[in-house]
Structure 1
């Protein structure tokens, strides 16, 4: 996180005379300059300021000296000491009613929370500080809070939001020209956001600007940080030798100035480049040093990736046992330091690490026994199912995905999973698949003595019966409950409990008409799949609760939409497909138009509308129509680049903004791909459904200079396709509005040459 202890201090609230104020300002500037090279010396100067301000009975400078001292400890990765200094200074500011100073401590607290992996707490502090700074008209504080909110957004995985914050911060650079540190931090964080958004060349330019400014003003800490990230970008672009030289200089500087966090980051970056070059010994050495530094200084956000990288290097050297243990340590470290949201994601990762262990064991068996291919096939099945399951919230869709994968790998008669509700004591089966046919939903009570599913949940253990007689014996005198009205025909019956951390959330059953159908290897594979299923079930359980809550609200749809708008994420995204909505698209498009104007770049805008979508709803129902829209969204995402913006703006209308397109030929190829993406039928729970799509295209700057103008013209081009053929695309031209249309460069549904 970036500080705002910059070269100039607004001293509202200070009672000092001009002479002493100037003296303290000079000492403050000296300490600020030192803090990036010799943080302990800077701390000593901050203490001198505290004593002089105390003698002069000036609480403002006393509190400000504690703010500076806190960031000195922060640079040294001594977070407990940093927090004590911030709390001391904050108390002084609160007691003496110094709002300009109180705001600064929101930045200090947020920086520590972010470094410790408590990103939600960090964002809360930065957001509160930004609000107050704007209300009070404090430009410098406003800019620094924007910078840090952008960085926190990146750590939470929201590159688009981060880019928005950093671009707003960049706009304040002319007003804060006297703060060289501010420009350094803006360019650095802007580069981070550009890199995550796939704009690699822009990111390299921004990193270089940050590095040049930091070097020019002697800001060693910022120079080190910029070097590390610039080196990583250069390595990604194939310039490994230059990258290593840049990062090794960062490592030298961080060690000479006593910056352990930056030292660990430099070691990690060096190791990754060496690993990509096949220098395994050197990479392992650097990763081991990074782990040592990160662990000794409680660097939660670096310890886990350092351990994971060390595991990768050791695995490449066939040191599998060490690699596996390092990987487990990485998961434990991530669990310790991450927020609750990150913990949910790590549960899915943990199952993946278990699969890595299974894969190593299978490879070790390669020279000792046959059957390697079947073991690998099981691993592929588990990996595919795990990746697929955690992407869905709809229980019946989850079940269908599982059946499609498992039915080709094992003998399968019946597959299902139940969602357990501790509050009601009921296990709800949203559906079961028997012989490939999706059955209706059913449920059992936890107390039911005739249910194997209830027995599995009560005893929290795997139940495996090689024959139906064994299953009947397990229930004593109670008959086995069947699903629906059909008699029990399964011979081999397996029930697996589904756990999330220490809580049981459901049960999964796999059954076959053959006895002794499942070997120990297959059961082990199914237990691994159960880890992923537990995540999917937990997500489905949350969705079921939300649906039940929504059913109690009068005017359900209108109220849900209002509730969605209350959330900053839902306010800018479509709740059905997860795509951006029109509001977000227009904001991002306007910003990209501004950048494209400055950089002389092009933007292509695609307005797409499904053909005859009403027929799908009429034939299959609106639930099926929703699933078709989700599937179409996935097809569109697969066509466009990561840096493009795909949005759903109406019932069956989608808009895509593609900045940085090279020429009209590239646009035509992209439009061809959009139309062709729906040539293959969509697979949903109801079966295969075919739809086509009509697309209108408009270009910046040729066809418009604002988001509204581009959208309107792409819409016009799309509706002309609707009237003249459907299932094709058209580029807008002035003749689109005429009674006798003139095809734009002959581009109806074909590439331009």
Structure 2
């Protein structure tokens, strides 16, 4: 019987083996780590359970099963939340960043990367720091900030080489550096880094790294016009993807090759794979590619179907609910950070009770602001809450319009009364807000009268009350882009201190997200309106196209093709039921002189009147078609006998005895009618029409304006 100690050692050894084999065969590593989790639970080995689940999350990331990975990592993050900081916490946060980045959720990805990097540096863990820095470089790369990403990777490359990090990390950094050069158009340098990365990947048997590098080399050859070489690299990459079950990259290759080769089947493969790996990003891209393809080929029905599917996924990816989830996570982080800062506040002679009041206030503000998508309501709530804990005689929220180089006060209060919004220059010397935004830092002024000239040229005066004597201004950033500022002012000197700076900076962080939420909501509403309008227009266009394809444009009658299809279907039905059908071929007598005498405009109107008379002469179950010029076809289905077909034809001739009134003219129109019947004439639909035409022609050669049945010669 194995002792608990031996069992624990066995689990540790197995987990080391699993980690080393994970990249080469993530599916096998996933199965093995699940077994280790079960064994750890039986042994009551807590670290074994957590490590096994962590390894499972990485395997799932490599296998593109990202939602499952995020679910496991979130569970682990909750387990470690109340424990002392350790390398495990940092690894979990970094893995969450990778998973969200692959899901296309840039906001969550950057949040977890930043948090992981901060903790790595605080703990002095260089290897963790380098790993996170590589992932953050990938974040910049995926967001098309190529220059920043390149500088990031080149600096990281030097650190990785000097610190003798693992060849696996070095291979990834080399590949990422190559991608930066590729995006910046330096193909020769890109190829050099790709090949060096591939050699390392082969050396360590990293199938995932090598498959991605082969894809990069394929895209590089395609860019150079070396299409045969590109295809070879793509095939090698696909083969590796299938071996290691890397469906995410396989899907990406199909999308790229579909665009390169204009091959519909590649897009269809990508669509199926995206469903299999539950990647909404790839599904959306495949739908867009398919829609574009079908639009070019004129298949508007399919084009619209895929456009609609793609739009629904895109809307889901950008949903307000997803944004709120991110904001709530950031809110929790800020509150947690403030709690940890309680000791700092103590050392600054600030009572713990007061610091908790700040945290509670911040929590209340974030809850109330995220409960609304209306910017005006959000800013009013912020002002009302701030006033509960500090003196604020003036409150301003400023938006930065970079295009017009102005600052707009979108919300302002003075002594509790709201002031009308207004704009002014964004010059750094024009206002405290302008200085704070341009210098990207907070500005605390304890005595405005004596200090303002250090920052601005002329003191601005707002409102009608007493002048403010101290102020605090904090810039508002959203994803590192300065979008505005928040300012509080007091009628007293020295009203604000460091704790107010910390509070206002945290508030600015939340405020930027809430405001962006509101703006995005408005954009989504407008996008929905545009999409629905385009959908209606496309449906109308499709309806018009279908109408043109099946009907005669002049008379509105069906065309020859549609009648032919109806005839074929009716013949089959007639044969089964033992009934009779008749085809009437009608040609107007002496129609050309009408055109010559009265003009084609009058002639067209005559044809329209004739078409109406023909439709009124038959039943709703019968079909009338214009097949060209002055020729018409009528399908009588069913008729009791040939004599009934003659009676209908005589009725039509009788209707035509009266002159047709067109404008000031009275025009007489005669017609010759040829009839064929089925199944008496046991033949094809085409031959039935020919037979009726032949019968009509015989009448035409005689006295015209009459009726004749087809007769076999």
If the TM-score is normalised by the length of the shorter chain, which range does it land in?
Answer: 0.3 to 0.5
TM-score, normalised to structure 2's length? Answer: 0.45
Which structure: larger Rg? 2
TM-score, normalised to structure 1's length? Answer: 0.43
